[in-house]
């Protein structure tokens, strides 16, 4: 953002009116960005909108479709079912929302002025029971993460000491997810597990909330150039996140860091393989990271230097992404792809 003379505290920043948190544009750019965000399908590939939910702020995001992450305790299937049921109940009680299960549901929601919620699992929760993938698909789960930061039966996470790649069971999981039409997310996987999965999957896969490691070498949660190129060669999609302290190691972070990662990914792998998956909340995300050592963030190379993300601190500021893409010279067609079109394409290809 860069227009303030000093770095505001998070509380000071959030007291600013929403428009004051948006990137300054010329009148023509402002009108164009506003029109694009309102008329286009906007998809966030990784959301946590039910955390400290505020109906108006979710509406302000302009999102057409959000892939809400059901955050479960790994390998505890019963708890996963409870969390999924709670999400579905929540959505069904919101007058402006509906549940979605395919690409056509997204188009219909846009036409009807509704916000669509699709379910994904974070992380994988099937234990060693392959048939649970069929069950989850039948219940409407449309995306699953293979690992979190640590190792499981499928493969290794990005925070592990070593990375042995996909297990034999992991290969079976990939094959089954392809068969039933559940999208594969590799955002938290180790480098070899990532490459093994891209090679094994007949369908394109996703890094749905990450960034480019070349721009922040210490962070193992970000993806290497090798992995990004392999993803694109198989038709996959990379969602750029807005997680504080993941995209940069600086004291001051925000929308410009996100845009830097978008620019890098577009240049390296092409406009058709870049999307947005913010993975941000309405609460104080950095405070929660500092308070919860279970995240083991240091093992992934994350240092908690910034207190918040200027211009993209919570989902309400989503329109700033469209504004930022306008400011960086992207065409209307390119913006359409990044903020929703590419996501819609891969959903239709893998899920239907």
Each residue of 85-111: pLDDT tens digit? Answer: 999 999 999 999 999 999 999 999 999
Q: Is residue 6 part of a domain?
A: no
Cite the beta strand spans of the chain per DSSP E.
43-47, 65-71, 97-99, 115-122, 141-145, 183-185, 206-210, 237-240, 253-254, 274-276, 309-310
> What does the chain come to in residues?
352
The C-alpha atoms of residue 51 and residue 90 are separated, in whole angstroms, by 12
Is it true that the peptide bond before 123 is cis, omega within 30 degrees of 0?
A: yes
Neighbours of 20 (CB within 10 A): 12
Look at residue 76 in the predicted model and tell me its pLDDT.
78
Residue pair 248/216 in contact (Cβ under 8 Å)? The answer is: yes
The C-alpha atoms of residue 20 and residue 305 are separated, in whole angstroms, by 24
The C-alpha atoms of residue 98 and residue 302 are separated, in whole angstroms, by 35
Neighbours of 177 (CB within 10 A): 25
Residue pair 155/190 in contact (Cβ under 8 Å)? The answer is: yes
Sign of the torsion angle spanned by Cα atoms 332, 334, 338, 344:
positive
Look at residue 2 in the predicted model and tell me its pLDDT.
46
Residues contacting 144, CB < 8 A, separation 6+:
120, 121, 124, 133, 136, 177, 182, 183, 184, 185
Q: Is residue 7 part of a domain?
A: no
Q: What is the pLDDT along the chain (352 residues), one digit of tens a residue?
A: 545 568 899 999 999 999 999 999 999 999 999 999 999 999 999 999 987 888 999 999 999 999 999 977 666 788 889 999 999 999 999 999 999 999 999 999 999 999 999 999 987 788 899 999 999 999 999 999 999 998 999 999 999 999 999 999 999 999 999 999 999 999 999 999 999 999 999 999 999 999 999 999 999 999 999 999 999 999 999 999 999 999 999 999 999 999 999 999 999 999 999 999 999 999 999 998 888 765 567 789 899 999 999 999 999 999 999 999 999 999 999 999 999 999 999 999 999 9
Domain span holding position 140: 40-350
Q: Is residue 51 part of a domain?
A: yes
Using alpha carbons, select from 161, 134, 147 the residue that is nearest to residue 74. 147
pTM across the whole model: 0.96
Q: Is residue 27 part of a domain?
A: no
Look at residue 123 in the predicted model and tell me its pLDDT.
72
The C-alpha atoms of residue 166 and residue 186 are separated, in whole angstroms, by 12
State whether residue 152 is helix, strand or coil.
Answer: coil
**Total domains, the chain:** 1
Q: Is residue 123 part of a domain?
A: yes
Q: Is residue 35 part of a domain?
A: no
The tokens of 147 are what? 């690992």
Residue pair 209/45 in contact (Cβ under 8 Å)? The answer is: yes
> What CATH number corresponds to the domain at position 287?
3.20.20.140
- β-bridge partners, 115: 97
Residues 47-74 have pLDDT tens digits of: 999 878 889 999 999 999 999 999 776 6
Q: Is residue 192 part of a domain?
A: yes
Q: Is residue 21 part of a domain?
A: no
The tokens of 42 are what? 């906007």
User: Could you tell me the end-to-end alpha-carbon distance of the chain, in angstroms, rounded to an integer?
Assistant: 39
Using alpha carbons, select from 21, 19, 18 the residue that is nearest to residue 8. 21
């Amino acid at each position: 953002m860069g227009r303030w003379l000093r770095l505001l505290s998070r509380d000071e920043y959030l007291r600013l009116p929403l428009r004051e948190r948006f990137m300054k544009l010329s009148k023509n750019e402002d009108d164009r960005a506003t029109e694009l965000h309102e008329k286009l399908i906007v998809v966030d590939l990784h959301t946590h909108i039910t955390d400290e939910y505020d109906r108006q702020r979710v509406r302000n995001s302009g999102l057409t479709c959000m892939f809400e992450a059901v955050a479960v305790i790994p390998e505890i299937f019963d708890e996963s079912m409870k969390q999924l049921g709670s999400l579905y109940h929540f959505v069904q009680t919101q007058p402006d929302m509906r549940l979605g299960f395919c690409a056509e549901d997204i188009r219909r929601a846009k036409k009807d002025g509704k916000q669509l919620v699709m379910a994904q699992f974070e992380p994988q929760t099937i234990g060693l029971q392959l048939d649970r993938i069929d069950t989850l698909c039948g219940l409407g789960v449309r995306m699953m993460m293979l690992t979190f930061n640590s190792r499981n039966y499928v493969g290794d996470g990005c925070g592990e000491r070593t990375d042995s790649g996909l297990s034999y069971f992991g290969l079976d999981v990939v094959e089954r997810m392809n068969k039933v039409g559940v999208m594969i997310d590799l955002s938290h996987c180790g480098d070899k597990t990532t490459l093994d999965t891209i090679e094994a999957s007949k369908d394109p896969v996703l890094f749905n909330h990450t960034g480019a490691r070349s721009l922040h070498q210490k962070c193992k949660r970000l993806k290497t150039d090798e992995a990004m190129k392999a993803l694109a060669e198989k038709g996959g999609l990379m969602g750029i996140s807005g997680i504080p302290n993941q995209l940069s190691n600086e004291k001051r972070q925000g929308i410009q860091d996100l845009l830097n990662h978008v620019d890098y990914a577009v240049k390296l792998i092409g406009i058709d393989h870049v999307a947005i998956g913010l993975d941000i909340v309405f609460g104080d995300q950095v405070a929660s990271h500092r308070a919860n050592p279970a995240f083991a963030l240091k093992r992934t190379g994350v240092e908690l230097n910034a207190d918040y993300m200027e211009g993209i601190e919570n989902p309400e500021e989503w329109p700033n992404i469209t504004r930022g893409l306008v400011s960086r010279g992207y065409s209307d067609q390119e913006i359409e792809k990044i903020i929703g079109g590419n996501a819609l394409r891969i959903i239709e290809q893998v899920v239907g």
